[in-house]
Amino acid sequence: MGAPDLILQLRQAGYSISADDNYLDISPADNLSPDLLQQLKQHKPEILAALRLEQQREARREKVLAMLAADPDMKRATYVDTDSDPENAILAIAIRHAATFEMQVPRANFDPWQLLALIDKTGVDDVH
């Protein structure tokens, strides 16, 4: 069982789990089985990495939602993250009253000017 499976298993069992520096914050922690504790210890680095990715994804999502909240006339907002992943540019996109999602574009194929031209052509309202 890998890190995503362990995180899902804990959440489905009613636990909350998050990363706090190099520690796993699990609540309630007092009734974790010895087997589950062993799996958590065994996969701790992978679990921390997966939780940090979740936190980064949520931060990007909050940025595009804040852009929409700041401008009631804006229909779509896009945030380009070139710092979080050394291999990919990550585009976070929010469409008012519809969805938020992310796209990963390999850096070798990422051309910000082409992205801006595409956004201009398709009518995305704001890019950061």
pLDDT 10s digits, 81-120: 999 999 999 999 998 999 999 999 999 988 878 877 776 7
Instruction: Say what the pLDDT of residue 112 is.
Output: 79
Residues near 56 by Cβ (< 8 Å), separated by ≥ 6? 81, 84
Residues near 120 by Cβ (< 8 Å), separated by ≥ 6? none
pLDDT mean over 55-80: 95
Among left, alpha and beta (phi > 0; psi -120 to 50; other), residue 90 is beta
Residue 55 CB: number of other CB atoms within 10 A?
A: 12
Give the residue extent of every domain in the chain. 3-127
Per-residue tokens: 64: 């595009």
DSSP type of residue 84: S
Q: CA-CA distance, 8 to 35, in Å (whole number)?
A: 16
pLDDT at 80 over 70: yes
pLDDT digits (tens, 9 = 90+) for 4-52: 999 999 999 999 999 988 999 999 988 888 998 999 999 999 999 999 9
**Top-confidence residue, 126 or 76:** 76
pTM here is 0.78
